[in-house]
Amino acid sequence: MTTHLPSADTLESFHKDLDEIRDDIMAKVGQEDANYIRKIVRIQRGMDLVGRLTMVAGFYHWIFWVIGVVMLGCAKILNNMEVGHNVMHGQYDWMNDPHLNSREFDWDAVADGNSWRRTHNFEHHTYTNIIGKDRDFGYDTLRLSDDVPWKDHYRFQPIRLIVLMLMFEWAVAYHELFGERIFIGKRHKEGKLPISHAQLIKDFFTKIRLAVFRDYIFFPAVVGLFLGWPMFFAILGGNFVANLIRNLWANIIIFCGHFTEEVHTFNEEECVNESRGQWYYRQILGSSNIEGSKVMHIMSGHLSRQIEHHLFPDMPSYRYMEAAERVRQVCAKHNIPYNTGTLWDQYKTVVARVIKYSRPPKKTGEVANA
Amino acid sequence: MSQAETSVQSGSFFSKAHEWVAQSLTQQNKISAYLEPLIQMAVPGWTTEAIRSKVIQVRPETNDVYTLVIRPGKRWKGFTAGQHLQITAEQNGTLQTRFFSVSSAPAHFRKTGLIEMSIRVQEGGRVTPWLREAFAAGGICNLTPAEGDFVLPAGNDPVLMIAGGSGITPFRSMLSQMAATGDKRDAHLMFYVRDEANALFKEEFEKIAAQHENIRVTFMNSAEKGVFSAEHIQEVCPDFAERKVMICGPTPMIQLVRGVVSEQGVSAENIMFEYFGAAPIELDRADAKDAYVNFEKGGVAAMSSAENPVSLLELAEQNGLKPLAGCRVGVCHQCKCTKKSGVVLNTLTGQYSDTGREDIQLCVSVPVNDVVLDV
Ligand code: FES
């Protein structure tokens, strides 16, 4: 799919309009944003602690177990998305808070934060939707565009989608190692990464050990010690389900951000010597938004404002809602498509896209020898 | 000996175990860091990093100097006269941190539980003018333990103290401590002030000098006498060669005084000095506007010319360093590092940074004046 570019003049004035939005909003960033993220962190910590305790009360009645699991799942979602993703992007670095710092923060997931920062912040945000460069596009396992050459195994990608959903945190953890072909296939040469392969593998396992110890050893064991084996397994299972809830939700939100029907892809040549306006344009075409309630926006880490996040990756997430209103107007003014819809509508098109590209391309010549 | 060693080892084993468990359970280095936001609901401003303290009063000294009177929290251990500490306060969501010397005596702290910090309002500064307004009615700040070795030398050697402007603060602490404890060491203070109106703590010093014959204070009015010179010490303190010389003041003043006293034969080990903030980078520059960038960890100081400035990332690379970087255009934040001091221009937003410690992106930052980086 080659993208038709608007005229240079349009791009130039588009670029100016967007910069103006960014400058206006960034000038307002301050106490309000700090209070907001601290509040979210407090809610997240509270839900984490209360959720884990409520799960233990499942000893008296199973309903508490269910409530506890859901709370813990939500705490993990908040931790990963509204806090983790955004803090690790550096959106709150200006607060100088050592615990909300992009270089220090790590999240409640099996994926090592540093590894994610490398693949996501750099690759994905710089080379958004450039086939072959942005490996977040399809996560190396899904074919979501005709620009990705056909292979037979893509027939099964609807099943892969389901597996990816359930194991999302593990996929993110393994993402960078996969790119280097560490365990499967022929290992890539050292040196492309800022760290050695040995270090990469070490960090990978360290983080997994930390996460597994907490959810599948420590908390089940502490509770099991007092309340017996059944509760050991109840807590272990509860933590497992909470992780599953988070995986499902995160995966759905993220897929709605980049793999909906209308989202464009790009090839490398299109993007050499790209102007800032062109870069903005690519970010807009390569992302899609979700409409919904305030709670949905917060639970999505404001990735429901994926377009704005891609335009201004280090703007505090708290400001994406107001940025979105203005970006939308600017897009309308310049006749640039702005892709948004409800969660349900957007996700339907994601599933449709996964199914569509799980069929071999028709040989119309255009893509056959891509 | 062996006992001490085992205790150190077991201590580090436990702290390592605590850190590992904390990382696992909370993804923080300390469990308390995880609880910090919850604790703050009950105790606003509480942090794991520093000691929560109360500003009791802001006392004006001159037009542009004020004193913060602070009651440090219980965990604060006290200090030696001349030491400094970091104070942190939240300004519009940002935790701002600055170094200041304590200007009151340790004896005063023991008696009242209070310390004082005297601060000059920096022109165009973001923090010093704001602190005065923000704490006018008192408030909460965070302090680090006192540190620094700009203190009276051990033994009883006579000292010559040379202060410029608000560089007087550590000397005020030392002299009032000497007065309070009846220290008999011979001390002579030469205090350079812009003019009469800026003679900080004048009455106080005159009183101390009048009551203690081992303490002498000479006010040097720069408006009349000009800047420090060899004639000045020969005239005011002819026995300076037998003294330890302690200097504190603005950077050019320290450089000037150091040069003059060493020319006059005072050996380097008898000269002590303390800069406000980071020490300047002492290298020649072709143009006064050229800036030096000190990459501390790499041990390299590199010059950045004012005429065609390059980003800090390029500068580091030109000088053989390999800081972590990715996109090189300010998107990915991989090149984030800590700037300890100095002003940089963010080429993406066109904004100038503050002078103090903060995180910056190397790839879109251009040095404006001398910059010290933790790279
Ligand atoms: S290298 Fe990506 S932000 Fe500096």
Residues of B in CB contact (< 8 Å) with A are 20-21, 23-25, 27-28, 33-38, 40-41, 49, 90, 92-97, 324, 326-327, 329, 331-334, 336, 349, 358-359
> What letter represents residue A249's amino acid?
W
CA pair distance A196, A261, nearest whole angstrom: 38
- Determine the pLDDT at residue B356: 78
Contacts with A256 (C-beta within 8 Å, 6 or more apart), sequence order = A288, A290, A304, A306, A343, A346, A347, A350
- Determine the pLDDT at residue B359: 87
- How many residues are listed for chain A in this entry? 370
Residue B344 lies in a domain: yes
- Determine the pLDDT at residue B79: 97
Maximum CA pair distance of chain B?
A: 67
Whether residues A96 and B358 touch (CB distance < 8 A) is answered with yes
B349, burial (CB in 10 Å: exposed 0-12, middle 13-18, buried 19+): middle
A366, burial (CB in 10 Å: exposed 0-12, middle 13-18, buried 19+): exposed
> Which residue from A44, A78, A29 is spatially nearest to A322, judged by alpha carbons?
A29
Q: Domain check: are B266 and B178 in the same one?
A: yes
Q: Which domain holds residue B222?
A: 159-275
- Determine the pLDDT at residue A111: 93
The CATH number linked to B88 is 2.40.30.10
**Domains identified in chain B, total number:** 4
H helices present in chain B, as ranges = 2-26, 31-42, 106-112, 128-134, 169-181, 202-211, 222-225, 230-236, 251-263, 312-318
Q: Mean of the pLDDT values across residues A252-280?
A: 87
SS3 assignment, position A114:
helix
Residue B150 lies in a domain: no
> What letter represents residue A312's amino acid?
F
- Determine the pLDDT at residue A87: 96
Which residues of chain B fall short of a pLDDT of 50?
Answer: 1-9
Residue B149 lies in a domain: no
> Which residue from B179, B200, B103, B89 is spatially nearest to B136, judged by alpha carbons?
B89
The tens digit of pLDDT for each residue in A91-125 reads: 999 998 989 998 889 999 999 998 898 888 888 88
The CATH number linked to B201 is 3.40.50.80
Give, in order, the Cα–Cα distances in Å from A305 to each of A309, A311, B252, B366. 6, 10, 52, 32
Question: What stretch of H or E contains B365?
Answer: strand B365-367
B374: tokens are 């933790």
- Determine the pLDDT at residue B246: 96
Q: Cα A180 to the chain's mean position, in Å?
A: 21
B253: tokens are 């003043």
**Closest by Cβ to A194, choosing from B28, B90, B324:** B324
Question: What stretch of H or E contains A36?
Answer: helix A31-56
- Determine the pLDDT at residue A1: 47
The mean-pLDDT minimum among A86-90, A179-183, A365-369 falls in A365-369
B324, B328, B344, B366, best to mutate for ligand 1 pocket (most atoms within 8 Å of CB): B328
Question: What stretch of H or E contains B117?
Answer: strand B115-120
The mean-pLDDT minimum among A73-82, A167-176, A318-327, B5-14 falls in B5-14
Residue B12 lies in a domain: yes
Distance of CA B334 from the midpoint of ligand 1 (Å): 5
B311, B327, B337, best to mutate for ligand 1 pocket (most atoms within 8 Å of CB): B327
- How many residues are listed for chain B in this entry? 375
Cα nearest neighbour of A194 on chain B: B324
**Boundary residue ending a domain (B93, B111, B143):** B143
Residue B153 lies in a domain: no
Whether residues B41 and A97 touch (CB distance < 8 A) is answered with no
Residue B73 lies in a domain: yes
Looking up tokens 């639970």, which residue turns up? A299
Mutating which of B332, B352, B353, B363 best tests the A interface, going by the most A Cβ atoms within 10 A?
A: B332
User: Is the CB of residue A22 less than 8 Å from the CB of residue A315?
Assistant: yes
SS3 assignment, position B361:
strand
The complex's ipTM?
0.85
B332, B373, B375, best to mutate for ligand 1 pocket (most atoms within 8 Å of CB): B332
Would you list the domain boundaries of chain A? Answer: 8-356
> Which residue from A136, A112, A135 is spatially nearest to A199, judged by alpha carbons?
A112
Strands B187-193 and B159-164: parallel
Among the atoms of ligand 1, which is closest to the Cα of residue B327? 2
pLDDT of A50 > 70? The answer is yes
> What is the pLDDT of chain A when averaged over all its residues?
90
Q: Is the CB of B335 under 6 A from ligand 1?
A: yes
The CATH number linked to B349 is 3.10.20.30
- Determine the pLDDT at residue B6: 39
Q: Is the CB of B324 under 6 A from ligand 1?
A: no
> Which residue from B257, B188, B255, B196 is spatially nearest to B222, judged by alpha carbons?
B196
- Determine the pLDDT at residue B166: 87
- Determine the pLDDT at residue B5: 38
Rg (CA), chain A: 21
Q: Domain check: are B133 and B205 in the same one?
A: no
Residue A295 distance to chain B (closest CA, Å): 21
Residue B152 lies in a domain: no
Whether residues B95 and A26 touch (CB distance < 8 A) is answered with no
Q: Is the CB of B361 under 6 A from ligand 1?
A: yes
Residue A114 distance to chain B (closest CA, Å): 9
State pTM to two decimals: 0.88
**Boundary residue ending a domain (B245, B275, B305):** B275
pLDDT of A2 > 70? The answer is no
- Determine the pLDDT at residue B341: 84
- Determine the pLDDT at residue A119: 86
Contacts with A278 (C-beta within 8 Å, 6 or more apart), sequence order = A5, A11, A271
Mutating which of B333, B339, B352 best tests the A interface, going by the most A Cβ atoms within 10 A?
A: B333
Q: Is the model more confident about B324 or about A157?
A: A157
Residue B358 lies in a domain: yes
CA pair distance A259, A282, nearest whole angstrom: 14
Hey, is the C-beta of A99 within 8 angstroms of any chain B C-beta?
yes
* Chain A residues in contact with B98 (beta carbon < 8 A): none
For residues A39, A42, A44, A50, the Cα torsion angle rounded to the nearest 10 degrees is: -140
A79: tokens are 């931790």
Residue B116 distance to chain A (closest CA, Å): 25
* Chain A residues in contact with B93 (beta carbon < 8 A): 29-35, 94-95
Q: Domain check: are B258 and B304 in the same one?
A: no
SS3 assignment, position B268:
helix
Hey, is the C-beta of A331 within 8 angstroms of any chain B C-beta?
no
